[in-house]
Protein backbone atom coordinates (compact mmCIF):
# COMPACT_ATOMS: atom_id res chain seq x y z
CA UNK A 1 0.00 0.00 0.00
CA UNK A 2 1.40 3.47 -0.83
CA UNK A 3 2.33 5.88 1.93
CA UNK A 4 -0.75 7.96 2.74
CA UNK A 5 -0.52 11.67 1.85
CA UNK A 6 -1.48 12.73 5.38
CA UNK A 7 1.34 10.66 6.89
CA UNK A 8 3.72 11.82 4.15
CA UNK A 9 3.02 15.49 4.85
CA UNK A 10 3.30 15.01 8.61
CA UNK A 11 6.66 13.29 8.19
CA UNK A 12 7.95 16.07 5.94
CA UNK A 13 6.80 18.76 8.39
CA UNK A 14 8.51 17.04 11.31
CA UNK A 15 11.80 16.90 9.40
CA UNK A 16 11.66 20.61 8.57
CA UNK A 17 10.42 21.93 11.91
CA UNK A 18 11.45 19.13 14.30
CA UNK A 19 7.89 19.33 15.57
CA UNK A 20 4.36 18.93 14.34
CA UNK A 21 1.54 20.71 16.03
CA UNK A 22 -1.16 21.41 13.47
CA UNK A 23 -3.56 24.21 14.19
CA UNK A 24 -6.70 24.51 12.12
CA UNK A 25 -8.94 27.52 12.28
CA UNK A 26 -12.53 26.34 12.18
CA UNK A 27 -14.92 29.20 11.76
CA UNK A 28 -17.97 27.83 10.01
CA UNK A 29 -21.57 28.87 10.34
CA UNK A 30 -23.96 26.42 8.77
CA UNK A 31 -26.81 28.69 9.88
CA UNK A 32 -25.59 31.15 7.24
CA UNK A 33 -26.03 28.46 4.60
CA UNK A 34 -29.43 27.49 5.98
CA UNK A 35 -30.64 31.07 5.68
CA UNK A 36 -29.28 31.72 2.17
CA UNK A 37 -30.48 28.45 0.66
CA UNK A 38 -33.72 28.08 2.66
CA UNK A 39 -32.72 24.75 4.16
CA UNK A 40 -34.19 23.11 7.21
CA UNK A 41 -31.92 22.04 10.04
CA UNK A 42 -31.73 18.41 9.02
CA UNK A 43 -30.16 17.48 5.68
CA UNK A 44 -27.42 15.40 4.13
CA UNK A 45 -25.18 16.21 1.19
CA UNK A 46 -24.34 14.27 -1.98
CA UNK A 47 -21.40 14.90 -4.30
CA UNK A 48 -21.98 12.94 -7.53
CA UNK A 49 -18.93 14.35 -9.37
CA UNK A 50 -15.53 12.76 -9.64
CA UNK A 51 -13.28 14.55 -12.16
CA UNK A 52 -13.87 11.92 -14.88
CA UNK A 53 -16.52 9.32 -15.70
CA UNK A 54 -14.44 6.33 -14.62
CA UNK A 55 -14.38 7.46 -10.98
CA UNK A 56 -18.08 8.36 -10.74
CA UNK A 57 -20.67 6.09 -9.20
CA UNK A 58 -23.65 6.00 -11.62
CA UNK A 59 -26.24 8.75 -11.12
CA UNK A 60 -29.02 6.15 -11.11
CA UNK A 61 -27.38 4.56 -8.08
CA UNK A 62 -27.59 7.87 -6.23
CA UNK A 63 -31.26 8.09 -7.23
CA UNK A 64 -31.99 4.63 -5.85
CA UNK A 65 -30.02 5.37 -2.70
CA UNK A 66 -32.00 8.57 -2.06
CA UNK A 67 -35.24 6.60 -2.47
CA UNK A 68 -34.11 4.11 0.16
CA UNK A 69 -33.08 6.89 2.53
CA UNK A 70 -36.39 8.71 1.99
CA UNK A 71 -38.23 5.62 3.20
CA UNK A 72 -36.34 5.81 6.49
CA UNK A 73 -36.01 9.53 7.19
CA UNK A 74 -37.25 13.04 6.43
CA UNK A 75 -33.80 14.48 5.78
CA UNK A 76 -33.54 17.01 2.98
CA UNK A 77 -31.03 16.23 0.23
CA UNK A 78 -28.49 18.79 -0.91
CA UNK A 79 -26.50 17.99 -4.05
CA UNK A 80 -23.27 19.93 -4.40
CA UNK A 81 -20.39 20.17 -6.82
CA UNK A 82 -18.78 22.44 -9.36
CA UNK A 83 -20.42 24.05 -12.39
CA UNK A 84 -19.19 21.18 -14.55
CA UNK A 85 -21.16 18.77 -12.35
CA UNK A 86 -24.44 20.66 -12.62
CA UNK A 87 -25.90 18.22 -15.17
CA UNK A 88 -25.20 15.22 -12.93
CA UNK A 89 -26.84 17.00 -10.01
CA UNK A 90 -29.79 18.10 -12.11
CA UNK A 91 -30.37 14.58 -13.42
CA UNK A 92 -30.70 13.33 -9.86
CA UNK A 93 -32.80 16.29 -8.71
CA UNK A 94 -35.32 15.91 -11.54
CA UNK A 95 -36.13 12.39 -10.35
CA UNK A 96 -37.61 13.93 -7.20
CA UNK A 97 -39.97 16.68 -8.32
CA UNK A 98 -41.82 18.27 -5.40
CA UNK A 99 -39.44 16.55 -2.99
CA UNK A 100 -36.82 18.11 -0.75
CA UNK A 101 -33.91 17.47 -3.12
CA UNK A 102 -31.89 20.57 -4.02
CA UNK A 103 -29.31 21.13 -6.76
CA UNK A 104 -26.62 23.54 -5.50
CA UNK A 105 -23.92 22.43 -7.95
CA UNK A 106 -22.05 25.50 -9.17
CA UNK A 107 -24.09 27.77 -6.91
CA UNK A 108 -21.89 27.95 -3.81
CA UNK A 109 -18.65 29.70 -3.03
CA UNK A 110 -15.93 27.66 -1.34
CA UNK A 111 -16.74 29.17 2.07
CA UNK A 112 -20.45 28.43 1.57
CA UNK A 113 -19.58 24.86 0.66
CA UNK A 114 -17.65 24.49 3.93
CA UNK A 115 -20.66 25.92 5.77
CA UNK A 116 -23.08 23.52 4.10
CA UNK A 117 -20.89 20.49 4.80
CA UNK A 118 -20.35 21.55 8.42
CA UNK A 119 -24.11 21.55 9.04
CA UNK A 120 -24.91 18.28 7.28
CA UNK A 121 -25.97 15.15 9.14
CA UNK A 122 -23.51 13.32 6.86
CA UNK A 123 -22.22 13.46 3.30
CA UNK A 124 -22.09 10.88 0.52
CA UNK A 125 -19.45 11.38 -2.12
CA UNK A 126 -17.26 9.87 -4.75
CA UNK A 127 -13.56 10.30 -4.01
CA UNK A 128 -13.43 14.10 -4.14
CA UNK A 129 -12.20 17.00 -2.03
CA UNK A 130 -15.58 16.99 -0.27
CA UNK A 131 -14.51 13.96 1.75
CA UNK A 132 -11.48 15.80 3.12
CA UNK A 133 -13.52 18.95 3.77
CA UNK A 134 -15.94 16.84 5.82
CA UNK A 135 -13.14 15.57 8.04
CA UNK A 136 -12.00 19.16 8.49
CA UNK A 137 -15.48 20.24 9.61
CA UNK A 138 -16.03 17.17 11.82
CA UNK A 139 -18.81 15.93 9.55
CA UNK A 140 -19.23 12.21 9.11
CA UNK A 141 -18.77 11.10 5.51
CA UNK A 142 -19.18 8.02 3.37
CA UNK A 143 -16.85 7.71 0.39
CA UNK A 144 -17.48 5.53 -2.66
CA UNK A 145 -13.87 4.57 -3.19
CA UNK A 146 -12.16 3.04 -6.20
CA UNK A 147 -8.74 1.43 -6.38
CA UNK A 148 -6.80 3.83 -8.58
CA UNK A 149 -4.98 5.59 -5.72
CA UNK A 150 -6.07 3.25 -2.94
CA UNK A 151 -4.10 3.97 0.21
CA UNK A 152 -2.56 7.20 -0.99
CA UNK A 153 -5.41 9.59 -0.15
CA UNK A 154 -7.98 7.18 1.26
CA UNK A 155 -8.51 5.27 3.47
CA UNK A 156 -7.10 7.59 6.13
CA UNK A 157 -4.25 6.26 8.28
CA UNK A 158 -5.27 4.44 11.44
CA UNK A 159 -3.66 7.06 13.69
CA UNK A 160 -5.62 9.94 12.16
CA UNK A 161 -7.37 11.95 14.88
CA UNK A 162 -10.83 13.12 14.05
CA UNK A 163 -13.78 11.67 12.14
CA UNK A 164 -12.43 9.37 9.44
CA UNK A 165 -14.43 8.81 6.25
CA UNK A 166 -16.28 5.53 6.03
CA UNK A 167 -14.96 4.03 2.80
CA UNK A 168 -17.08 1.70 0.69
CA UNK A 169 -15.05 -0.28 -1.83
CA UNK A 170 -14.82 -3.58 -3.65
CA UNK A 171 -11.22 -4.76 -3.27
CA UNK A 172 -9.63 -6.16 -6.44
CA UNK A 173 -6.19 -7.53 -7.29
CA UNK A 174 -5.60 -4.63 -9.68
CA UNK A 175 -5.87 -1.93 -6.99
CA UNK A 176 -3.13 0.68 -7.23
CA UNK A 177 -3.45 1.00 -11.03
CA UNK A 178 -3.22 4.83 -10.91
CA UNK A 179 -6.56 4.81 -12.73
CA UNK A 180 -5.10 3.00 -15.75
CA UNK A 181 -7.88 0.45 -15.67
CA UNK A 182 -7.12 -2.93 -17.25
CA UNK A 183 -10.81 -3.78 -17.63
CA UNK A 184 -12.80 -2.79 -20.68
CA UNK A 185 -15.55 -0.23 -20.17
CA UNK A 186 -17.70 2.20 -22.07
CA UNK A 187 -16.36 5.75 -22.20
CA UNK A 188 -19.16 7.13 -20.03
CA UNK A 189 -19.16 4.26 -17.53
CA UNK A 190 -17.28 3.85 -14.26
CA UNK A 191 -14.30 1.54 -13.93
CA UNK A 192 -15.07 -1.95 -12.69
CA UNK A 193 -14.10 -1.43 -9.04
CA UNK A 194 -16.58 1.47 -8.82
CA UNK A 195 -19.25 -0.31 -10.81
CA UNK A 196 -19.19 -3.30 -8.43
CA UNK A 197 -20.18 -1.14 -5.45
CA UNK A 198 -23.91 -1.68 -5.05
CA UNK A 199 -26.60 0.63 -3.73
CA UNK A 200 -27.12 -1.77 -0.85
CA UNK A 201 -23.40 -1.69 0.00
CA UNK A 202 -23.61 2.06 0.51
CA UNK A 203 -27.02 2.02 2.16
CA UNK A 204 -25.79 -0.35 4.86
CA UNK A 205 -23.28 2.34 5.88
CA UNK A 206 -25.92 5.08 5.73
CA UNK A 207 -28.25 3.22 8.09
CA UNK A 208 -25.98 4.10 11.01
CA UNK A 209 -26.80 7.81 10.52
CA UNK A 210 -30.58 7.57 10.07
| CATH code of 200's domain | 3.40.50.2000
Percent of the chain whose predicted confidence (pLDDT) is above 90? 49
In tens, the pLDDT along 38-53 reads 777 689 999 999 888 8
User: Mean pLDDT across the chain, nearest whole number?
Assistant: 84
**140 is in which domain, residue-wise?**
5-209
Total domains in the fold of the chain: 1
Mean pLDDT, to the nearest integer, of 49-70?
Answer: 93
Q: What is the DSSP letter of 78?
A: E
d(CA 57, CA 196): 10
- Predicted model pTM: 0.84
Burial 6-40 (b: 16+ CB within 10 A, else e): beeebeeeeeeeeeeeeeeeeebebeebbeebebe
**What pLDDT shows up at residue 203?**
98
Amino acid sequence: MPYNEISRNNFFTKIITNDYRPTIVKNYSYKTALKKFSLKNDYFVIFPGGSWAGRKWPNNNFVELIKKINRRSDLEVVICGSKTEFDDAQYITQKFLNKNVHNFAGKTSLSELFNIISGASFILSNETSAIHIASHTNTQSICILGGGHFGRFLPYPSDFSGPKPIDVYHKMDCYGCNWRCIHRRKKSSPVKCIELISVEDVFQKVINFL
